[in-house]
Structure 1
Amino acid sequence: MQREDLSDLNAFLAVAEEQSFTRAAARLGTSQSALSHTVRRLEERLGVRLLMRTTRRVAPTDAGERLLRTLRPALDEIGAELAGLSELRDKPAGTVRLVASENAARGLVFPALARLLPRYPDLKVEVSVDAGLTDIVAQRFDAGVRLGEHLAKDMIAVRIGPDLRLAVVGSPGYFAQRPIPRTPQDLADHVCINLRLESFGGLYAWEFEKDGRELRVRVDGQFTSNDVSLILDAARSGLGLACVLEDQVTPGLADSSLVRVLEDWCAPFAGYHLYYPSRRQPTPAFTLLVDALRYRA
């Protein structure tokens, strides 16, 4: 069957059902003369007359009736299949790949997924945990999660969490032997636990701000790790002071295994954002995930 046959058959069906070239032309959004030409072309190609034309009405011939009996269910089936494909296009399905730090993955991404995934069985989400500045385009991720201050300018960013603060903490045993630091400069007299972040150029410089004054302090101590959980274990064990995100020390402050200091030097900053390339054409699945993660104060 030629490609134009389907269009011509649809034109014939419209005229036969409407029993009028005028009404059929209006239904198909074409002119009466163009429609008449299409039906005549179909009849010439088939070698049979399909319609009887009078001044009052148009009616199928015997050949036309036979064609109609075959054509109606066939086109109905095609229409139903096209509708099904459209529904599939709009249905959230497929795999979405994200990369996020452990803190963001556990505290923000996973709780949202736990609510979302049971409602959409055709949606799959892969979360890769990585604290570095991953190139999501090169690594073929659909999106990543970063703090607001580390977002690239050519990315679309969607806020998925509240403002955050840093927290400097130590164990009660540590402070039993050393004075409480009152300013960031006092850290020079303390043992501190370093966080190694290769993506940020090595050891993290502790960041402080008060009354518009910003300070970055390089600290020193016996223990260094790239894992925040291990750093907090070291702080609870009395090996030194740690500087981590505020929400990561909440359990330790609650059970008094950690003591917080320099709180007035820890100003709020932009929290976690979901980011993805501006040229990306969102799929229904990706759009659904973005909406589920979007922060609503």
Structure 2
Amino acid sequence: MKQNFTVRQGALDGVEAFLSVAQHRSFRKAAAELGVTPSAISQAVRALEARVGAALFIRTTRSVGLSEAGERFRARAKPAFEELVAASAVARDLGQRPAGLLRLTVPRSVVPILLEPLIASFCQAYPEVEVEISANEELVDLAAGGFDAGVRMGQFIAADMVALPLSPPFPFVVVGSPDYLRRRGKPERIDDLRQHACLRIRRTNGSIAPWSFVSGNKPIEATVAGPLIAYDFPTIVGAAVEGLGLAQAPGPIAAGPLKAGKLVQVLEPFASMAPGVFLYYPSRHHMMPKLRAFIDHVKSRSAGRARSRIDDKRTRKTKMR
């Protein structure tokens, strides 16, 4: 049978007063230490004794001593109370400056592209913050998983989260190796994918993701087939580089092999756009300083990149004149 448990209100009331009186053997000195009147100390101790159900002090007109019950109560209460005070100090310290463990859940694919330079500069700026990165593809409940924030593509972030952009919008590109395209030919239409080996992603819910396209303003989802199913984009992009088939992946993940000539983009007119990658976190009135510092660092880096892009455009325009 399930038992009902309740936390008794005021369970700690009077404990600090009791410990101070027990230390000084004086109600007056305890009152001076705690900054209250001797009458207030007496009332607090009497209320504590009433809850405990035993006299904790032996009082005379000249002295104050501990009863046997008081000695036993002090032996157990003093270290426990000191631990509570220490716990409060630790929590207060973390609430006043960027320090402690910052836990982030991120897809593996964004770590080398976005997070490595960002985390490196953040750790240098805030040496008292330890950063823990859990790299996986699952959509994690931040609170249940004990995470401070997460990184995901915008379309997968819950509406009740605060989202901060880490990247501009980007296309989902279909790519294949030059060798594969020589053997199988380039698809010109979405329907041509029926004749191709397509490398696919299994979602965290177990389903296999269709490929997404746009024809005009109309979104299209294509069910494709092929020899490989993986749980992350770097795996299927790597397989495409090896000539195993075509892969559809976020543009930034395929950018390196495309630039190196290891992959070729196809079906460009039908590429769908993703809103970008975002840092997301719960809306909190009392945000911990470590997370606030990380958010401010992300905003500062984003502003710096935006200024750099503007300067680059101005430089190119000047050279063209």
Shared fold (TM-score, shorter chain, > 0.5): yes
Matched, 1:238 2:243: yes
Q: Equivalences for 1:94-105 in 2 at 5 Å? A: 94-105=100-111
In the alignment, structure 1 residue 166 sits paired with structure 2 residue 163: no
Among 274, 289, 309, the alignment partner of 1:284 is 289
Scaled by the length of structure 2, what TM-score is found?
0.63
- Structure 2 counterpart of 1:207, which letter? S
- If the length of structure 1 is used for normalisation, what is the TM-score? 0.68
Q: 1:86 to 1:279 in 2, by over 3 A?
A: closer
Measure, in 1, the Cα distance between the counterparts of 2:223 and 2:152: 23
1:214 lines up with 2:231 in the alignment: no
Q: Does 1:196 align with 2:192?
A: no
Answer yes or no: is the 8 Å Cα contact 2:173–2:266 preserved in 1.
yes
Work out whether residues 108 and 293 of structure 1, in 8 Å CA contact, stay in contact via their aligned partners in 2.
no
Over alpha carbons, which structure has the higher Rg?
1
- Cα displacement string for residues 90-122 of structure 1 (whole angstroms, at most 9, x for unaligned residues): 321111101000122222222111111112221
SS in 2 for 1:132: coil
Q: State whether structure 2 residue 146 is matched by structure 1 residue 140.
A: yes
1:93 matched to 2:91: no
Indicate which of 225, 233, 243 corresponds to 2:230.
225
Is the contact made by 1:193 and 1:220 (CA closer than 8 Å) also made in structure 2?
Answer: yes
Unaligned runs of 5+ in 1: 10-84
- Unaligned segments of structure 2, at least 5 residues: 1-28, 38-90, 307-321
275, 289, 293: which one aligns with 2:298: 293
Matched residue type, 1:245: P
Aligned partner of residue 249 in structure 2, secondary structure: strand
1:259-287 CA-to-partner distances (Å, cap 9, x unmatched) read 11012211332111111222463111110
Secondary structure of the corresponding residue to residue 293 of structure 1: helix
Q: 2:258 aligns with which of 253, 258, 263?
A: 253
The alpha carbon displacement at 1:133 in A equals: 0.9
Aligned-partner SS, 1:193: strand
Distance 1:280 1:203 in 2: 39
Q: Distance in 2 between matches of 1:88 and 1:231?
A: 42
Which of residues 166, 181, 187 is equivalent to 2:187?
181
Corresponding residue number in structure 2 for 1:66: none
**Cα distance in structure 1, aligned partners of 2:157 and 2:192:** 32
Task: Give, in angstroms, the shift of residue 243 of structure 1.
Answer: 0.6
1:182–1:262 Cα contact (<8 Å) kept:
yes
The residue that corresponds to 2:280 in the other structure is 275
SS in 2 for 1:197: coil
CA root-mean-square deviation: 2.3
User: Structure 2 vs 1, CA of residues 229 and 87 (structure 1 numbering), >3 Å: closer, same or farther?
Assistant: closer
Percent identity reads 33
> Partners in 1 of 2:263 and 2:126 — Cα distance?
41
The alpha-carbon distance between structure 1 residues 263 and 4, as it changes in their structure 2 partners (threshold 3 A), is farther
Distance verdict in 2 for CA 1:3–1:96, change over 3 Å = farther
For 1:4-23, list aligned pairs within 5 A.
7=35
